[in-house]
Structure 1
Amino acid sequence: MSKRVTFLHSRRPSMPRVSGAVVAVGLGASMVFGAGAAFASGTTGTADTAALAGAATASSIAQQATAQTKAADKAKADKAEQAAAKKKAAAKKKAAAKKKAASWEVPVRHYELSATFGIGGDRWAHKHSGQDFAVPIGTKVEAAHTGRVVKAGPNGAGDGPAYGNAIVIKHANGKYSQYAHLSKIEVKVGEHVKTGEEIAKSGNTGNSSGPHLHFEIRNTPNYGSAINPVTYLHAEHVHV
């Protein structure tokens, strides 16, 4: 009996020590795992923040680069468009100038028609050789067509005092235009003029009953070769 009791007493103390060790090991493991988890958690948060900041910076740089590229492309397109518009305007202006040079026009503006071609009267030795445009003294007189000045001066530029101050222009098609009774001559013999260019000021010089421009179309530079100027201008699509 006594031995049996002793055996039982010798085994009982070992139980609590094992249990305490297990508890201690478990607690230590929990602390270790907890610390590791906390450490791992802190490390992961820092890396994520850095990654997000880097991504935001890269995105901002990419957006700026895209915006700059778009701005450069737009500036380039605008410059090309402006150059094309400028080129088109220059071509249009050149075409208009060419068309104007090839066309005819009435030599004065804001006029009234007075004496016409072929009528008789006391002021002409023969029938009237041109078309008169009644305008105030000093009205701008323009070249009816591109050509070269072959006559310019008083005494009808050599055609007689009845014309007063006069100009004759030779044109490429072999016709001549004459402008008479001028108050001022603004071109010289040999000078090249263009359609619409100012060549004189209207007046009342020579055999004139009032301020007007006497205008002729001739087959030669001299008096006696005139044709109906209104009919001629109509044939050149000029309304008089």
Structure 2
Amino acid sequence: MSKRVTFPHSRRPSMSRASGVVVAAGLGASMVFGAGAAFASSDTADTAASASVATADSVAKQATAQSKAAAKAKTDKADKAEAAKKAAAKKKAAAKKKAASWETPVNHYELSATYGTGGDRWASKHSGQDFAVPIGTKVEAAHTGRVVKVGPNGGGDGPAYGNAVVIKHANGKYSQYAHLSKIEVKVGDRVNTGDEIAKSGNTGNSSGPHLHFEIRTSPNYGSALDPVAYLKTVHVKV
């Protein structure tokens, strides 16, 4: 008859103890992995924070640059507007000064027959100053005024003048331009000093291309003054 072998109760493996070991091991592993995760989470947060700071700094710099550019553009625009305003005022002042001034009726000329000259070419003494210039030379208004006479018959002063223009000025004087090849104004036109009114020519009683210029006390023939002497009184050197 075989004997039954029994083990002491104290040496039998305890399932609860084994389970506790496993659980403890699991908890330990969990704690270790959890710590690693925590460290990883901390590093990510620091990186994100650094990136956020860098982005904010970049945005701030860009905003500052844009603000400076906008301010400069505004200043440049204001400076340009001020410069344009000053240029316009200067131009207006120059135009006003010129309008108030006198000048010779042509540029790049030679003086020929002078006022008061006598001879066979005139019924009486020469009534103006001749400026020798090529046909087609621009003839300008010697002073601001209004056109009162134009025409091929000296504007009514006779055929000897050929094509002519007479301008009335505010000071009561008149300027006359004769022997023209072309007239570019009409009676009633308002002209300023330096405005083109005609082209020089050789029409009427003329011995060669030139402009006959007079200063008068009326619009008509017979009231002429010495034009060179008069121009000197208004600060024009002939």
What range is the shorter-chain TM-score in?
0.7 to 0.9
Aligned to 1:103: 101
- Mean alpha-carbon deviation: is it higher for 216-225 or for 35-44? 35-44
C-alpha distance after superposition, 1:29-51 (max 9, x if no partner): xx999888766644442332222
- Which contiguous aligned blocks of 4+ residues in structure 1 show a shift greater than 3 angstroms? 31-44
Q: Distance in 2 between matches of 1:95 and 1:180?
A: 32
Structure 1: which 5+ residue stretches go unaligned? 1-30
Q: Distance in 1 between matches of 2:57 and 2:85?
A: 42
Aligned to 2:44: 46
Shift of 1:73: 0.8
Aligned to 2:58: 60
Q: Distance in 1 between matches of 2:187 and 2:165?
A: 9
C-alpha distance after superposition, 1:67-100 (max 9, x if no partner): 1111111111111111111111111111111111
Structure 2: which 5+ residue stretches go unaligned? 1-28
Aligned to 2:209: 211
Shift of 1:110: 1.4
For 1:76, the aligned partner's letter is: K
Q: Aligned ranges for residues 71-220 of structure 1 at < 5 Å?
A: 71-220=69-218
For 1:209, the aligned partner's letter is: S
For 1:97, the aligned partner's letter is: A
Q: Secondary structure at the match of 1:127?
A: coil
For 1:177, the aligned partner's letter is: S
Q: Secondary structure at the match of 2:167?
A: strand
Q: Distance in 2 between matches of 1:41 and 1:120?
A: 121
For 2:57, the aligned partner's letter is: S
Shift of 1:112: 0.6
Q: Secondary structure at the match of 2:47?
A: helix
Aligned to 2:235: 237
* Bigger helix share: 1
Shift of 1:119: 1.6
- Aligned-pair Cα RMSD in Å: 2.0
For 1:61, the aligned partner's letter is: V
Q: Secondary structure at the match of 1:162?
A: helix
C-alpha distance after superposition, 1:89-126 (max 9, x if no partner): 11111111111111111111111100111121111122
Identity of aligned residues (%): 78
Q: Distance in 1 between matches of 2:31 and 2:233?
A: 111
Q: Distance in 2 between matches of 1:207 and 1:32?
A: 127
Q: Distance in 2 between matches of 1:32 and 1:205?
A: 121
Q: Distance in 2 between matches of 1:78 and 1:144?
A: 42
Q: Secondary structure at the match of 2:170?
A: coil
Aligned to 1:18: none
Q: Distance in 2 between matches of 1:32 and 1:157?
A: 121
Shift of 1:55: 0.6
Q: Secondary structure at the match of 2:149?
A: strand
Number of aligned residue pairs: 211
C-alpha distance after superposition, 1:9-65 (max 9, x if no partner): xxxxxxxxxxxxxxxxxxxxxx99988876664444233222211110110110111
Q: Distance in 2 between matches of 1:46 and 1:231?
A: 99
Q: Distance in 2 between matches of 1:64 and 1:231?
A: 72
